[in-house]
C-alpha cells in the first residue's frame, strides 16, 4: 500500500515526466536552428532533383508544349518549400523556369 504522505510527490513526479515526454526536444534552446538547417538542406536536395529530372525532359519553352507530371509535382513542392521559408524570389524563379509545362502546369507560388 502506498503511503498517503508520498502520494502528492508521486503524482507530481508522474505529471512532470509526462510533460517532459510530450514536450520533447523542441523546448531546448537551438532546436529550431536544426530544423532550419534540415529544411535548407532538403530544399537544396529537392532543387537538385528537380533540375536532374528537367535534364531528362525532352523539351524547352521553344517546344511550345511540355508534359512531365512528376517533375511538375516536384516543382510545386519546391516552390511551396521556398514560400514556407519566406523566400518568395526563389519560389518565383523556379516557377518561371517551369511555367511552360502543361498537363499539368505548375502552380504559381502563393507567398
Positions in the chain whose pLDDT score sits under 50: 9-34, 36-37
Residues 70-87 pLDDT 10s: 999 999 999 999 999 999
User: CA-CA distance, 51 to 57, in Å (whole number)?
Assistant: 10
Query: What pLDDT does residue 107 have?
Result: 95
Query: What pLDDT does residue 43 have?
Result: 94
User: CA-CA distance, 69 to 36, in Å (whole number)?
Assistant: 29
Residues 66/48/87/39 CA torsion (nearest 10 deg): 130
Q: What DSSP element (H or E) covers 78?
A: helix 69-84
Amino acid at each position: 500500500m502506498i503511503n498517503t504522505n508520498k502520494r502528492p510527490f508521486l503524482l507530481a513526479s508522474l505529471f512532470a515526466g509526462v510533460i517532459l515526454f510530450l514536450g520533447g526536444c523542441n523546448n531546448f534552446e537551438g532546436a529550431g536552428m536544426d530544423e532550419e538547417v534540415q529544411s535548407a538542406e532538403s530544399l537544396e536536395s529537392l532543387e537538385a532533383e528537380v533540375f536532374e529530372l528537367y535534364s531528362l525532359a525532352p523539351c524547352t519553352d521553344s517546344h511550345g508544349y511540355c508534359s512531365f507530371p512528376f517533375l511538375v509535382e516536384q516543382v510545386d513542392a519546391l516552390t511551396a518549400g521556398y514560400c514556407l521559408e519566406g523566400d518568395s524570389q526563389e519560389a518565383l524563379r523556379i516557377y518561371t523556369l517551369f511555367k511552360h509545362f502543361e498537363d499539368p502546369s505548375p502552380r504559381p507560388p502563393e507567398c
